[in-house]
Every structure is written in C-alpha cells, then in structure tokens.
C-alpha cells in the first residue's frame, strides 16, 4: 500500500481545514492509495485489509472485479469506522475526484464518531478483524478448512438474527437463585381485613388455594429464555452445546454482525450526510474554477436515480437539505402543520436560521427509520416524485402501483425496519420438554421464503444439535416447521 503522495497530503490538510470550519468533528484519517485490484480486494473484505478466510469474500471479489473490468461500476471511495479512520483512494482518479472523495470521507468519519448508533461499536475494529482472522486460521490449521468453513457457513445463515438495540440495553445480572428461594417461603398474600373479619375475608379454603397456587408457580419448569429473545446469536452462545472452537467462531460472527449493524441502520442518513458535506465543501471552498465541470459530472453520477431505483445518497442529501431549509425558515411545529393556506405556506419564512443546528442534531440522534419517519413529509415526497412499485403477477413486470404519500412512506419504513428482514425470536429452549429449540416468526403480513427457512433451520440444527422448530404463518395458517437433524417436516396448527 502506497502512502499518500505529498500533494494529496496537502489537499487532505486543506479539506480537513474547511470541514472543521463547518463544525465537522472527526478522527484522524489515514488515507491510502490503492490500485484497482487491491481496491476490490479491500472492498470485498468489507473495507478491511485482512479478514478470516471464507469463500464469500472471494465471491464478492469476483463480482466487483467483473463489474469493474467490463466497465459497469467503479468503486470511488471506502472508509472504515475505526479510530483513526482508514480510507482508501483509487489510484489514477483525477485530482478533482480525489478531493471529492476526501471531503465525502470526512463526512462519514464525522458521522461514525458522533452518531449515537455507532457509539457502542469497536473503534479498534481494524485490529479486531485481524484478530478474528488469526483465530479462524488457527482453528483451520488444527481442524481442517472444510470443517471450520462449514461451521462458518452455518453461522452465517443466522448472522442476521441479532438485536440491533441490544448493545444499548443494560442487562440485569443473572437472577439470584438464593433470592428466588426466599421468595417462595414468603408469606401468603392476604386480603387486608380487620382482625375480627379476617377469617371471613381470608377463609382457610382461600388461604389453602393461595398456598397451592404459589407452589404450582414455584414448581413450574422455568422457561428459558424467560422472554422471547431476539439476539439469537447470544442465546446460542450461552445455551448451545458447542465445542470451544465453535463458540469462538460464533462469537466472531456475532461481533462482526454487531459491528456492521449500525452501518446498515444508517445507510441513507450516513450517505446523505457525507454527500451533503462533500458537495458543500467542494462547491463553497475546495473547487477550482477549472474543475467544476468534472465535479458536476461525477457528482451527478453519484446522485443519479434510474427509474425505479432507490439511491440512498440522493434521498439522504435531499432530505437533509429539506430539513435545513425548513428549520432555517421555521417551517415546523404546530403553527406550520396546521396552516392550510397554500399561499402562506409557500412564502413562509420566519428567518430562524436553525437549519445547520438541526441537521447536526439529526446526524447525532437519528437512524434511517427515525429519520424517514420524522422528516419524510408529503411535500417532500411529491416534490421528489416518489412512487411505490410492486410486482404485477400477470405480466411479470414491476409496475408503479401508487403515488400516494401514505403508501410510499409505509413501504419505505417497512423495508427499513429490521433491514427488511423478518423478526425471529427464540421462544423456548426446552420445547416439548425434550430440549428442542423453538423459534417463532412474528408474522406481520409477509410470509417467509420457505426453502430458505428450511435451510436455515438445518443450519440452526447443526448448532443446536437437537431438533429445531420454527413457528410461522403461511398463507394465513399457523405452521410449524421442524428439522430433526436428518429430515424436515411440517405440520399445520389450528389457530
């Protein structure tokens, strides 16, 4: 990896100066220049120089290389959430491209550092990934590639079964068993009564019944987990009968899943934020007159939306600009919302100048779901010509099905919630009192893809080593899918 040539170091310092002037707050950035092959390697590794050995990185690499070689796409920039941040520039890009990328990257780094959802991520992940790689390699040397890789494959099937809010939950220490026992010997609850009324209000039969109830409560087999658990990976780490090396692998997969989760949670906001700042810095400060055409050309490429496509850069930056304008002009709050006069709305300007402050607040506290939920307004939707589309079964084509604001917003939020993945919980680790695992899909109107669900169950069975069950809904009927280690079966349950 080549270190940055002096003229680019100068540019980096210059742009960092502009960015600080605007109030961006970022870590030190280490830029490196890579040739396109190396760039694709790093991109395939998710931005890191080293990852554990796995074929899917090779697949990603092939895809990136092919689309680069045949000219379909080109990776301009990459940056990883780490302190100091590492970012890569593509060798041979023109100077104006490099400037734009540097400015864009600073936007991301500011976001990584300040957005709340990143606050629990490992800021030394570059070392973390290298450690993971060493650990996996060691297991592979000892046990053989196939064995370890197959287990990784199984873990990857459930990689998405995490609870993104989990790092923010303060966990209770495991319930104290002593305390439990004390509770069972506690006094029977009595209904308050004057002493002469007591034997009528709390008659012996009633007290007996209370005592039995408490005993039943105590003897009832304790369910594990007590509440349905969304962090399936953690549950398996704590409860599945795994070998030490398997525990290690599963832990690595979970670590990485949680590390990448905030990036998936804030794709629109993060890209929008970076695009907002590169365009601000470039157009107001960094561009030379001779560079404007090239800049505009490339910027247009980044923000382009083909019909039917959803470009997170584009919607992110437009929404941030909209927020800035609204808060500058005071177009928020009750008075604005209740104003029905189109004319008044069009010329509404209270000259508050709160826009910049507001978007900094947004970058600190919001993720994509809350961002869209709060700021994607009907006005914005109409002005930017959003539509929703769906598959027309008859023609096999995707068609625009609506331009109604409510529908569009609902669809957008649906696709962002839980990354558009179904909600799956661990319901019981001792299903049927036979040590089987019971998973439940919280059905919210969309069915699972059955063949994938079956294969995922197989992977779960590999980890749980006992039969695994999945409770879901297919075509409006409750169904239980089961994998017993050898065979799949399913049965319908009456609702």
Residues 66-95 binding other proteins (CB under 8 A) are 66-67, 70-81
Q: State which of residues 311, 370, 430, 478 lies at the interface with other proteins (CB under 8 A).
A: 311
Closest to other proteins by CB, 338 or 421: 421
Asked whether 108 and 363 are in contact (CB, 8 A), the reply is no
State the binding string over 259-278 for other proteins (x if CB under 8 A, else -): -x--xx-----xx--x----
Closest to other proteins by CB, 123 or 298: 298
* Piece in contact with other proteins (CB under 8 A), picked from 54-62, 191-199, 283-291, 426-434: 54-62
The distance of closest approach from Cβ of residue 157 to other proteins in the complex, given in angstroms and rounded to an integer, is 5
- Closest by Cα among 366, 470, 373 to 423: 470
Closest to other proteins by CB, 193 or 400: 400
The distance of closest approach from Cβ of residue 225 to other proteins in the complex, given in angstroms and rounded to an integer, is 18
Q: State which of residues 15, 33, 43, 96 lies at the interface with other proteins (CB under 8 A).
A: 43
Q: State which of residues 89, 101, 250, 323 lies at the interface with other proteins (CB under 8 A).
A: 101
3-class secondary-structure state, position 421: coil
Q: State which of residues 3, 391, 435, 491 lies at the interface with other proteins (CB under 8 A).
A: 391
The distance of closest approach from Cβ of residue 183 to other proteins in the complex, given in angstroms and rounded to an integer, is 38
The distance of closest approach from Cβ of residue 12 to other proteins in the complex, given in angstroms and rounded to an integer, is 18
Asked whether 149 and 141 are in contact (CB, 8 A), the reply is no
Residue 26 in contact with other proteins, rule: CB under 8 A: no
Which strands form 477-483's sheet, in the order they lie side by side?
Answer: 423-431, 436-442, 468-474, 477-483, 488-492
List Cβ neighbours of 363 (8 Å cut-off, separation of 6 or more): 110, 111, 114, 115, 269, 273
The distance of closest approach from Cβ of residue 221 to other proteins in the complex, given in angstroms and rounded to an integer, is 28
Closest to other proteins by CB, 75 or 207: 75
The distance of closest approach from Cβ of residue 305 to other proteins in the complex, given in angstroms and rounded to an integer, is 5
Asked whether 57 and 44 are in contact (CB, 8 A), the reply is yes
Q: State which of residues 33, 64, 320, 369 lies at the interface with other proteins (CB under 8 A).
A: 64
Q: State which of residues 123, 135, 285, 298 lies at the interface with other proteins (CB under 8 A).
A: 298
- Rounded to 10 degrees, the C-alpha dihedral 196/197/202/203 comes to 80
Residue 315 in contact with other proteins, rule: CB under 8 A: yes
The distance of closest approach from Cβ of residue 180 to other proteins in the complex, given in angstroms and rounded to an integer, is 34
Q: What six digits make up the tokens of 174?
A: 């495991």
Interacting positions 103-142 with other proteins (CB under 8 A): 104, 108
Closest to other proteins by CB, 43 or 250: 43
- Closest by Cα among 294, 310, 300 to 398: 310
Residue 223 in contact with other proteins, rule: CB under 8 A: no
Residue 291 in contact with other proteins, rule: CB under 8 A: no
Residue 196 in contact with other proteins, rule: CB under 8 A: no
Which strands form 29-34's sheet, in the order they lie side by side?
Answer: 29-34, 85-90, 77-80
Task: Report the relative pairing of strands 436-442 and 488-492 from DSSP bridges.
Answer: unpaired
- CB count in 10 Å sphere of residue 480: 16
Residue 44 in contact with other proteins, rule: CB under 8 A: yes
What is the rounded CA–CA span in Å between residue 261 and residue 369? 13
The distance of closest approach from Cβ of residue 207 to other proteins in the complex, given in angstroms and rounded to an integer, is 49
- Quote the Cα angle for 245-251-255, to 5°: 150
Q: What six digits make up the tokens of 118?
A: 């990143």
Q: State which of residues 34, 269, 323, 424 lies at the interface with other proteins (CB under 8 A).
A: 424
List Cβ neighbours of 31 (8 Å cut-off, separation of 6 or more): 4, 8, 12, 87, 88, 89, 102, 105
Residue 441 in contact with other proteins, rule: CB under 8 A: yes
The residue behind tokens 């210059």 is 14
The residue behind tokens 């500011």 is 110
* Piece in contact with other proteins (CB under 8 A), picked from 7-15, 145-153, 206-214, 428-436: 145-153
List Cβ neighbours of 268 (8 Å cut-off, separation of 6 or more): 312, 315, 316, 319, 368, 371, 372, 416
* Piece in contact with other proteins (CB under 8 A), picked from 2-10, 22-30, 122-130, 258-266: 258-266
The distance of closest approach from Cβ of residue 171 to other proteins in the complex, given in angstroms and rounded to an integer, is 25
Residue 59 in contact with other proteins, rule: CB under 8 A: yes
Distance in angstroms between the alpha carbons of the first and the last residue of the chain: 61
Residue 47 in contact with other proteins, rule: CB under 8 A: yes
Asked whether 482 and 488 are in contact (CB, 8 A), the reply is yes
The size of the interface with other proteins (CB under 8 A), counted in residues, is 108
* Piece in contact with other proteins (CB under 8 A), picked from 206-214, 215-223, 294-302, 326-334: 294-302
Q: State which of residues 194, 220, 222, 385 lies at the interface with other proteins (CB under 8 A).
A: 385
Q: State which of residues 314, 326, 363, 462 lies at the interface with other proteins (CB under 8 A).
A: 314
- Rounded to 10 degrees, the C-alpha dihedral 208/210/212/217 comes to -170
* Piece in contact with other proteins (CB under 8 A), picked from 179-187, 200-208, 233-241, 299-307: 299-307
List Cβ neighbours of 78 (8 Å cut-off, separation of 6 or more): 39, 42, 43, 47, 87, 88
What is the rounded CA–CA span in Å between residue 410 and residue 406? 6
């Amino acid at each position: 990896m080549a270190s940055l040539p002096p003229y680019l170091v100068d540019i980096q310092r210059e742009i960092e100066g502009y960015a600080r002037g605007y109030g961006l707050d970022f870590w030190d950035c280490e830029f490196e220049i890579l040739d396109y092959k190396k760039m694709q390697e790093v991109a395939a590794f998710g931005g890191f120089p080293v990852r554990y050995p796995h074929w899917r990185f090779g697949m990603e690499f092939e895809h990136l290389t092919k689309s680069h070689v045949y000219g379909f796409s080109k990776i301009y920039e990459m940056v990883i959430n780490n302190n100091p941040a590492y970012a890569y520039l593509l060798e041979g890009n023109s100077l104006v491209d490099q400037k734009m990328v540097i400015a864009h990257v600073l936007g991301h780094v500011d976001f990584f550092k300040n957005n709340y959802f990143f606050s629990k991520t490992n800021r030394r992940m570059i070392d973390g990934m290298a450690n993971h790689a060493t650990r996996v390699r060691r297991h592979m040397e000892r046990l053989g590639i196939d064995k370890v890789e197959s287990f990784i494959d199984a873990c990857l099937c459930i990689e998405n079964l995490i609870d993104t809010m989990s790092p923010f939950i303060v966990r209770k220490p495991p319930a104290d068993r002593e305390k439990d026992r004390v509770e069972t010997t506690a006094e029977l609850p009595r209904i308050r009564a004057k002493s002469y009324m007591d034997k009528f209000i709390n008659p012996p039969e009633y007290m007996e019944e209370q005592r039995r109830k408490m005993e039943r409560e105590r003897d009832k087999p304790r369910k594990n987990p007590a509440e349905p658990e969304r962090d399936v990976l953690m549950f398996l780490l704590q409860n599945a009968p795994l070998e030490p090396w398997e525990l290690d692998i599963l832990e690595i997969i979970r670590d990485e899943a949680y590390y990448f989760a905030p990036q998936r949670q804030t794709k629109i906001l993060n890209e929008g934020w970076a695009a907002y700042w590169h365009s601000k810095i470039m157009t107001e400060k960094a561009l030379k007159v001779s560079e404007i055409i090239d800049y505009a050309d490339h910027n247009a490429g980044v923000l382009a939306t083909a019909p039917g496509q959803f470009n997170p850069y584009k919607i992110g930056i437009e929404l941030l600009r909209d927020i800035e304008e609204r808060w500058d002009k005071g177009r928020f709050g009750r008075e604005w919302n209740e104003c029905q006069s189109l004319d008044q709305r069009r010329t509404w300007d209270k000259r508050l100048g709160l826009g910049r402050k507001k978007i900094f607040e947004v970058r600190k506290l919001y993720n994509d779901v809350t961002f869209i939920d709060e700021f994607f307004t009907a006005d914005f939707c109409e002005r930017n010509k959003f539509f929703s589309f769906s598959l027309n079964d008859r023609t096999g084509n995707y068609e625009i099905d609506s331009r109604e604001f409510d529908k569009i917003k609902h669809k957008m939020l649906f696709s962002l919630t839980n990354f558009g993945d179904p909600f799956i919980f661990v319901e019981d680790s001792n299903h049927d009192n036979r040590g089987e695992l019971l998973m439940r899909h919280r059905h919210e109107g969309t069915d699972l893809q059955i063949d994938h669900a079956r294969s995922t169950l197989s992977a779960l069975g590999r980890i749980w080593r006992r039969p695994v069950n999945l409770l879901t809904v297919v075509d409006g009927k409750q169904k239980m899918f089961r994998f017993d280690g050898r065979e799949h079966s399913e049965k319908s349950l009456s609702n």
